[in-house]
Structure 1
């Protein structure tokens, strides 16, 4: 049992120091190994990511992109059409009509009130536009022809210079509404012009509010527009003047009221080779080329000079 005996000469302090030094050295080696291991793993990960084909990255990006687009669309639809996308509890539109239809039918008093209520409650921008035709809520109100609603929208910041995709202005639409109303309120036109509407604005086909009024034969509206500077001498892109609109619609008295001196009576020789409406309706004497080309005139010349087919 000698191995159980304790050696009195054994140096415990030296052994402790040796063991401490060995353990410290081992820990440093382990730390260095781990650092190298993680560094190698990081580099391997980067290399792996770089080796992934571009189309796979694109494929992964598609769902994220769609998510972002859906979020954007959700915000847009909620701001533009809140009565369709708001919770049912906040949707109190009893007419089952959107704000555009309510504004267009604002000649019904209850629709005017409903339109104002929706704008106030759902914080509509009155310049919100329908992509299909370019009508804004404000332009729909002009088409509805209710002065109180138009005034309200002007106070809400309506764009007085907005037009539809066909180029119809607020004044043109309001003129249409007044002309077709059972109780026309001409002061609507005064209001719009006072706020900056151009009385001589032409739509994409060249028609003005005066053309529209002349076609209806409404002298009150015509005089209102003329009082604000409407130009009698503006033709559309087909060369039709307001006087032509009145004549073709069967309003000779209005046509006489709209008569004016044409600066270039030969304009039809350049614009259109056919006989113009003014000549057909007897409002303008035909220029000489039209007379010379007339079959009736040619027959008359032949008879006067004794010409016949057999003579040739």
Structure 2
């Protein structure tokens, strides 16, 4: 641990060759990897008196020595990749995913968050694309606070990933959260036409009712979005289903006395009005589904240009296909 804290990568290499246990955890729950992660993102050039590149060499060594990256490195049960996501260190994530063969993306911290759920909630689109083909990508994931699955989270963060989720596991399309909402209801409350189009294309249950007895059509009428109403009715949404207050979507439309809404709900084929992109009264609550229910998200951790340069150079040297010219380009990019 002392060697890790001081960036002594050569001595750590010697310990590895002598079959030393680099996964050792002391009574405080500290490991060489947890110490490295702290140094990696709280590095202070003046205080640490160690070149940052030495810590990158230690990281490079730990990856090559098959140190266990699936174990927690803090009290919240976060793994190194989870912290890399929170710091937005894409370079290290890509490096780890490429070189660590036993990486388990399904591991959860004590709040039920995994690398995959964090990707969706933090909207790390490039990393989602990188991880989708991984053998431990958990398509059945549900979060703890709301029991939302990845399809619901994707509908809120980036609907373009919904198709890939459904291609891999279409059975999740009708899953509901703890409020009885399916992805169609959530997407409607969020005024996300793109998500609605995808869900209707894949045959989601359009007349599903949540815990209040409301269908997606109830909410479309409530937020007065004629284009969404038209799409739902064209997909056989029932305007006469009553919620627990005894109100149907048609009843709500009559109560509002909104001519445009009444026209589209009674004759959807003749009305084609685009849905305004404005937010709805439900959007704030719905977006809370993407909030991280965690005590710490490491606001003081950082990765700056100098740190990125060191990582780029060391990681690139590990890849045999990286030419001297490519290394020069990396150096010049961060100069």
* TM score, norm. by length of structure 1: 0.49
Answer with 1 or 2: which has the greater Rg.
1
* TM score, norm. by length of structure 2: 0.46
